[in-house]
């Protein structure tokens, strides 16, 4: 069954290439490629994982197909603004170094506060040598439920800061595209933001920024957003190299975060993140552990947990179905792909319908980024799609769509973009035509 899943996912990639003219940033391509890579890892582990459930294959394949059909349905009605009407804004902005420096100070305060909090929780003194152990220990406590996470203000600060890093990534790539001078303080802000995102022991934000960089690059490399890079031999080689670098980077980051990998097989560790979510989905389906409490209890679990915390109403207390699974001595983790909460809450047919709607939503966002004019030098539609792209790609891993997009985090991200735009641009607004000015930051 593992080989069948791989072949069917490959067919879905081909279908996406045909329907969407080989655009590698298209939502359907991102989703089908992600599950192809995951299913291929399942195939590599077929002798030890014993993947053989027909229902799991059907759920994944028909679910992705429904998503692709949703994307195609939106394309049938075509974007409101036609291809030839699109004009990419050639305006740039002048952001003073003092504003960037002030943002850098705020980031340093935020992440220093997080370091102090983590060290206090672990009962350790603040030292560079012991920071890695503190981060690893803190991560273990959060995974076990002993610690619920960062306190409110630090958590919100970290979420809002994500918007700032996306904002600066857009400005950086736009500046490089037009060969403009970039302030070193912008690079320092990006460095601090990306490294700071690793302090809690997770790599989610790091990979979010990596995906954002790739998607923004694809959009900003041409003056015409409608000409997104098509699939080619070169792009396939680049993708394979990117996967290899990500795997190597994953191991390095795990070591720096105090995650002890000394006695762990490297391939098993990588598989626990790549293919194991699909195997966990199979285990969930065959175990008959479905639990339906209220509408979308697992799908909107993050939102319900927040409501329970705010109101104390037991109606919103959601049962945790994410068991940590093992096969013999191999840990599979406790992530189950996007499909687990959907099939738990809505059944198979309901899952296909939700995936169709998600496809519609993602394609609308993609078309808006491609075909709609930006009203200013900062294209929020493109930035938002780079954020959405991570949720699409990592749907093979967990419920990112409803954790990042249809959740408080998604709202915070949008608010954060406008907050940073106001603070860095609109308070001291000054634009220049790109042809007349070659300074990106002053």
Is 247 exposed, middle or buried, given 0-12, 13-18 or 19+ CB atoms closer than 10 A? middle
φ, ψ (nearest 5 deg) of residue 431: -115, 155
Q: How far is CA 99 from CA 192, 266, 377, 423, 438, in A?
A: 16, 43, 18, 8, 20
Output the pLDDT for position 84.
45
Q: How far apart are CA 55 and CA 224, in angstroms?
A: 43
- pLDDT (tens digit per residue) in 421-438: 988 876 654 443 333 344
Residue 107 or 439, more confident: 107
- Local confidence band at 247 (pLDDT 50, 70, 90 cut-offs): low
Residue 368: both structure tokens together? 């808006």
DSSP H stretches of helix in 275-426: 276-287, 301-311, 339-371, 380-393, 400, 408-424
Q: How far apart are CA 74 and CA 70, in angstroms?
A: 7
| Cα of 48 vs its chain's centroid, Å | 29
Instruction: Tell me the average pLDDT across 58-87.
Output: 81
**Angle in degrees, 0-180, between the axes of helices 152-177 and 184-196, rounded to the nearest 10:** 140
Q: How far apart are CA 149 and CA 200, in angstroms?
A: 9
Please say if the pLDDT value at position 223 is more than 70: no
Please choose, from the candidates 342, 356, 349, the residue with its C-alpha nearest in 3D space to the C-alpha of residue 285: 342
- pLDDT (tens digit per residue) in 339-364: 999 999 999 999 999 999 999 999 99
Q: Is the pTM here over 0.75, yes or no? A: yes
- Local confidence band at 227 (pLDDT 50, 70, 90 cut-offs): low
Instruction: Tell me the average pLDDT across 200-228.
Output: 83
Task: Please tell me which of 76-80, 201-205, 218-222 the model is most confident about, judged by mean pLDDT.
Answer: 201-205
Please choose, from the candidates 252, 211, 353, 271, the residue with its C-alpha nearest in 3D space to the C-alpha of residue 46: 271
Classify 157 as helix, strand or coil: helix
Task: Count the Cβ atoms, other than its own, within 10 Å of residue 296.
Answer: 20
Tokens 């975060």 found at:
257
Output the pLDDT for position 263.
58
Please say if the pLDDT value at position 94 is more than 90: no
Angle, CA 17 vertex, CA 167 and CA 231 arms, to 5°: 65
- Residue 433's beta-bridge partner residues? 91
The number of C-alpha atoms within 13 Å of 325 and in the hemisphere containing its C-beta is 20
Please say if the pLDDT value at position 245 is more than 70: yes
Instruction: Tell me the average pLDDT across 133-145.
Output: 82
- pLDDT (tens digit per residue) in 182-192: 889 999 999 99
Residues 6+ apart with CB under 8 A from 327: 48, 49, 50, 279
């Amino acid at each position: 069954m593992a080989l069948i899943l791989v072949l069917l996912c490959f067919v879905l990639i081909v279908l996406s290439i045909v329907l969407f003219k080989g655009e590698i940033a298209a939502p359907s391509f991102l989703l089908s490629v992600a599950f192809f890579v995951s299913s291929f890892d399942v195939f590599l582990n077929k002798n030890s994982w014993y993947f053989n459930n027909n229902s799991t294959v059907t759920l994944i394949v028909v679910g992705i197909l429904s998503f692709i059909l949703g994307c195609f349905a939106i394309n049938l009605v075509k974007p409101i603004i036609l291809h030839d009407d699109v004009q990419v804004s050639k305006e740039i902005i002048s952001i003073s170094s003092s504003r960037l420096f002030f943002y850098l100070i705020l980031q340093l305060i935020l992440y220093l506060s997080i370091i102090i909090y983590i060290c206090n929780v672990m009962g350790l003194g603040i030292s560079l040598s012991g920071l890695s152990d503190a981060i690893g220990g803190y991560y273990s406590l959060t995974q076990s439920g002993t610690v619920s996470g960062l306190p409110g203000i630090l958590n919100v600060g970290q979420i809002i800061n994500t918007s700032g890093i996306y904002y600066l990534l857009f400005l950086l790539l736009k500046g490089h595209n037009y060969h403009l001078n970039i302030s070193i303080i912008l690079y320092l802000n990006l460095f601090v933001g990306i490294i700071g995102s690793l302090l809690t022991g997770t790599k989610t934000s790091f990979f979010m920024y990596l995906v954002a960089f790739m998607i923004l690059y694809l959009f900003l490399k041409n003056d015409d957003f409608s000409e997104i890079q098509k699939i080619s031999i070169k792009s396939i080689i680049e993708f394979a190299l990117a996967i290899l670098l990500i795997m190597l980077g994953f191991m390095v980051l795990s070591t720096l975060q105090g995650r002890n990998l000394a006695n762990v097989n490297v391939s098993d560790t990588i598989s626990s993140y790549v293919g194991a979510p699909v195997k966990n989905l199979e285990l969930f389906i065959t175990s008959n552990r479905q639990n339906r409490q209220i509408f979308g209890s697992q799908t909107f679990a993050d939102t319900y947990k927040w409501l329970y915390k705010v109101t104390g109403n037991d109606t919103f207390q959601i049962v945790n179905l994410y068991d940590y699974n093992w096969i013999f001595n191999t840990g599979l983790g406790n992530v189950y792909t996007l499909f687990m909460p959907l099939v738990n809450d809505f059944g198979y047919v309901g899952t296909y319908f939700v995936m169709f709607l998600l496809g519609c939503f993602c394609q609308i966002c993609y078309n808006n980024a491609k075909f709609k004019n930006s009203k200013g030098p900062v294209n929020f539609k493109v930035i938002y799609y780079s954020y959405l792209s991570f949720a699409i790609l990592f749907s093979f891993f967990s419920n990112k769509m409803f954790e990042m997009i249809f959740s408080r985090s998604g709202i915070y991200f949008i608010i954060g973009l406008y907050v940073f735009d106001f603070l860095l641009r609109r308070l001291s607004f000054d634009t220049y035509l790109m042809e007349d000015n070659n300074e990106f930051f002053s």
